[in-house]
Amino acid sequence: MQIAQVRGTVVSTHKEPSLRGAKLLLLQFIDADGRLLPEYEVAADWIGAGVDEWVLVSRGSAARQIEGNQSRPLDALVVGIIDTVSVDNRNLYSKREQDRSSFP
Amino acid sequence: MQIAQVRGTVVSTHKEPSLRGAKLLLLQFIDADGRLLPEYEVAADWIGAGVDEWVLVSRGSAARQIEGNQSRPLDALVVGIIDTVSVDNRNLYSKREQDRSSFP
Amino acid sequence: MQIAQVRGTVVSTHKEPSLRGAKLLLLQFIDADGRLLPEYEVAADWIGAGVDEWVLVSRGSAARQIEGNQSRPLDALVVGIIDTVSVDNRNLYSKREQDRSSFP
Amino acid sequence: MQIAQVRGTVVSTHKEPSLRGAKLLLLQFIDADGRLLPEYEVAADWIGAGVDEWVLVSRGSAARQIEGNQSRPLDALVVGIIDTVSVDNRNLYSKREQDRSSFP
Amino acid sequence: MQIAQVRGTVVSTHKEPSLRGAKLLLLQFIDADGRLLPEYEVAADWIGAGVDEWVLVSRGSAARQIEGNQSRPLDALVVGIIDTVSVDNRNLYSKREQDRSSFP
């Protein structure tokens, strides 16, 4: 999986019928030092990730391994909202601190 | 999925029999700032995307998750025509405005 | 799919038994402006593409979606010989013109 | 598979239900000369790899080819802890020496 | 498939049980001009490729399309030892000459 930040949404009304009801998020990838990369993915989200949150994204056939997705033409899925990322025993990211800094 | 713009078409008469009738579009990828990237994909299209429109493209086995595609040797599929892309709560792309600017 | 030009062949006598009889072509990728890229793929070909021709190549599990390939360890397949590539309503490539220029 | 070094962990409490109990490691890729690359992968680990160890990581549908993972939305898996990597008949990495140098 | 040169081996004793007995080779990719690239793959080998030989490597689910590999978490496989690579009707590589130059 890759670490990504929710940056926005993509809306498509004229689409494959099986994709109706799917919420599509624009996720921008984050490197192992916590910086935004130019790469992104538009991924389906059923767990309710919000803008600015860090998430884990699975790509390829993994995106169809959840109930109801098996025959949808999806190649990317938000599989979790990240609480913490620790690298070399220090905290690279903590959702709690992120939330706090949003309400100073 | 990736965001891409329809740039043209690819015609092949001598091809795998199961691909007969498939409309193949040349899609050029777009980055998270709305700029054209050099990367492209030739994707099958059954929803009727037109030149210059922005679309969502699924790659890999996802391209075969629609009725009739299950055993076609396809690795890319147009899964939706994009209405809007929003990043950081501002509109990166809106099909309506795009259409309007085409008919001034 | 990607657009590629047939550049040559790869011969392997000591190989997985299921690959016996497979013709393996060296394909070099072509970008959306018609230029050769450094990237290449060695792909199986059952439709008879010849050197210098432009072809469409499918990668991943798509390469096994044709009769007889289902359980071969292949990850790339020539799925069509290209007649024309049109970008922005102009002809980027035409097999007919290519053939003519070969017999001046 | 790629060679990677365990750099840390990713914790997510709000995630796909099928991922409960999965230990997620942040792995940074290593090149054929033994240097850290910027690329990383967050992979599930059931064999108990520890920080700083070198591991083999499988990606794509391979990550679901172990008992219990078949229908989890995973696209990366630690498949082995590396003992030695030999290139051109010299030792590029040896876990034993690595362990020793940690306890001088 | 990609063309790669066998550069070495990777040994892992603590690994997924289904990988026991698998010989893992470190393969470095070769470009269409015959030069070594920085990219590599650790691939399973059941056909007995030796150091310095050029091989064809299949990646993704293709690596599991041989008897006995179906449920192993492998994403790369040596599928053939290369005899010759011809590009533009000249020989880019010939195993016979390579062998000869090793025994002058």
Write the residue in B28, B43, B71 that is nearest to C32 by C-beta: B28
Q: Mean pLDDT over residues E69-75, rounded?
A: 93
D45-59 pLDDT, tens digit each: 999 999 999 999 999
pLDDT surpasses 80 at A44: yes
Q: Which residue has the higher pLDDT, E101 or A72?
A: A72
Structure tokens that stand for E46 in this block: 């059941």
Average pLDDT for C48-59: 97
Helices (H), chain A: 95-102
In the predicted structure, residue E94 carries a pLDDT above the cut 60: yes
Query: How many separate domains does chain B show?
Result: 1
Separation in Å, CA B100 to CA B34, B36, B48, B97: 18, 21, 20, 5
Give the pLDDT confidence of B34-61 residue by residue, as tens digits: 999 999 999 999 999 999 999 999 999 9
Q: The CATH number of the domain where A69 resides is what? A: 2.40.50.220
Give the Cα separation of C44 and B42 in Å (integer).
19
Q: List, as ranges, residues 13-72 from A with C-beta within 8 Å of B.
A: 13-16, 18-19, 24, 26, 28, 38, 40-43, 51, 60-61, 63-64, 71-72
Find the mean pLDDT for residues A25-52: 97
* pLDDT band with cut points at 50, 70 and 90 for residue E104: very low
**Distance to chain C for E19, nearest Cα, Å:** 18
Per-residue pLDDT band at D89 (split at 50, 70, 90): confident
Are residues C61 and E61, on separate chains, in Cβ contact within 8 Å? Answer: yes
ipTM of the complex: 0.94
Residue B89's pLDDT is: 87
Exposed, middle or buried: residue D102 (CB in 10 Å: 0-12, 13-18, 19+)? exposed
- Kindly report, residue by residue over E35-58, the tens digit of the pLDDT: 999 999 999 999 999 999 999 999
Nearest CA in chain C to B65: C62
Q: Are strands B14-15 and D36-44 parallel, antiparallel or unpaired?
A: unpaired
Q: What is the pLDDT of residue B97?
A: 80
Q: What is the mean pLDDT of residues B75-101?
A: 91
Q: Which residues of D touch A92 (CB under 8 A)?
A: 8
Burial per residue of B35-47, b for 16 or more beta-carbon CB atoms within 10 angstroms, e otherwise: eeeeebbbbbbbb
pLDDT one-digit tens code per residue, C11-44: 999 999 999 999 999 999 999 999 999 999 999 9
Task: Tell me the residue range of the domain where B18 lies.
Answer: 2-102
The string of DSSP letters for C47-86 reads S---TT-EEEEEEGGGGG-STTTTTS---EEEEEE-SEEE
- Residues of chain C with Cβ-Cβ distance to E60 below 8 Å are 60-61, 75
List the subunits that have 3+ CB pairs under 8 angstroms with D.
Answer: A, E
Using CB atoms, pick whichever of D3, D66, D87 lies closest to residue E73.
D66
